[in-house]
Amino acid sequence: MLPDIRSQNRDTLAAQFASWNQPAYRLDQLLGWLYARRAASWDEMSNLPKALRAQLVAIYSLNLPLLVTKQGSRDTTQKFLWRLADGALIESVLIPANPALYGEASDRHTLCISTQVGCAYGCRFCASGLDGFKRNLAPHEISGQILAIERWADSSAERGTRSAEPAPSASGTPRSPLPAPRSDDRVVNNIVVMGMGEPMANYDNLMTALRTLNAPWGGGIGARRITISTSGLAPRIRDLANDPLQFRLAISLHGATDEVREKIMPVNRKYPLRDLTAACEYYVTHKGKMITLEYILIAGVNDSLAQTRPLADLAHRLHAKVNLIPYNTVEGLPWSRPDDETCEAFAGALEHEGVTATLRREKGHDIDAACGQLRLKTEKAEANSEDAKTQS
Ligand code: SAH
Ligand code: SF4
Residue 328 near ligand 2, beta carbon < 6 Å = no
Residue 327: nearest ligand to its CA?
1
Q: What is the mean pLDDT of residues 299-312?
A: 97
Instruction: Inform me whether the pLDDT recorded for 123 exceeds 60.
Output: yes
**Ligand 2 atom nearest residue 229's Cα:** 2
Cβ atoms 239, 275 nearer than 8 A: no
Ligand 1 pocket, 371 CB below 6 A? Answer: yes
325 Cβ below 6 A of ligand 1: yes
Percent of the chain with pLDDT over 70: 82
- pLDDT digit string (tens) for 347-360? 999 999 999 999 97
pLDDT digits (tens, 9 = 90+) for 73-122: 777 889 999 999 999 999 999 988 765 555 555 667 889 999 999 999 99
Task: Name the residue of 93, 116, 252 whose CB sits within 8 Å of the most ligand 2 atoms, as the mutation to test its pocket.
Answer: 252
Atom of ligand 2 nearest to the CA of 126: 3
Q: Which atom of ligand 2 is nearest to the CA of 231?
A: 7
pTM of structure? 0.89
Q: What is the pLDDT of residues 307-318, one digit of tens each?
A: 999 999 999 999
Of 3-17, 171-185, 248-262, the range with the lowest mean pLDDT is 171-185
Query: Which of 77, 229, 322, 366 is the pocket-test mutation for ligand 1 (most atoms within 8 Å of CB)?
Result: 229
CA of 53 to the centre of ligand 1 (A): 42
What percent of the chain shows pLDDT beyond 90? 73
What pLDDT is recorded for position 77?
85
Question: Which residue has the CA at smallest separation from atom 13 of ligand 1?
Answer: 252
Ligand nearest to the CA of 131: 2
Given a cut of 90, is residue 367 above it in pLDDT?
A: no
15-66 residue pLDDT tens? 999 999 999 999 999 999 999 999 999 999 999 999 999 999 999 999 999 9
Confidence class for position 391, pLDDT limits 50, 70, 90? very low
Which ligand lies nearest to the CA atom of residue 253 in the structure?
1
pLDDT, position 155: 78
Active site residue 262: no
pLDDT of residue 225: 94
pLDDT mean over 319-338: 93
Whether CATH 1.10.3720.10 fits 5-59:
no
User: What is the domain partition of the chain in residue ranges?
Assistant: 5-59, 66-387
pLDDT for res 108: 79
Tell me the pLDDT band of 392, cut-offs 50, 70 and 90. very low
Q: Please state the rounded mean pLDDT for residues 324-344.
A: 93
Instruction: Choose between 242 and 153: higher pLDDT.
Output: 242
d(CA 260, CA 20): 59
Known catalytic residue at 158: no
Class of the domain covering 66-387: alpha beta
The pairing of beta strand 226-230 with beta strand 188-193: parallel
pLDDT of 24 reads: 94
pLDDT at 379: 65
Mean pLDDT of 237-249: 97
pLDDT tens, residue by residue, 153-201: 877 644 454 433 333 333 333 344 444 454 456 789 899 999 999 999 9
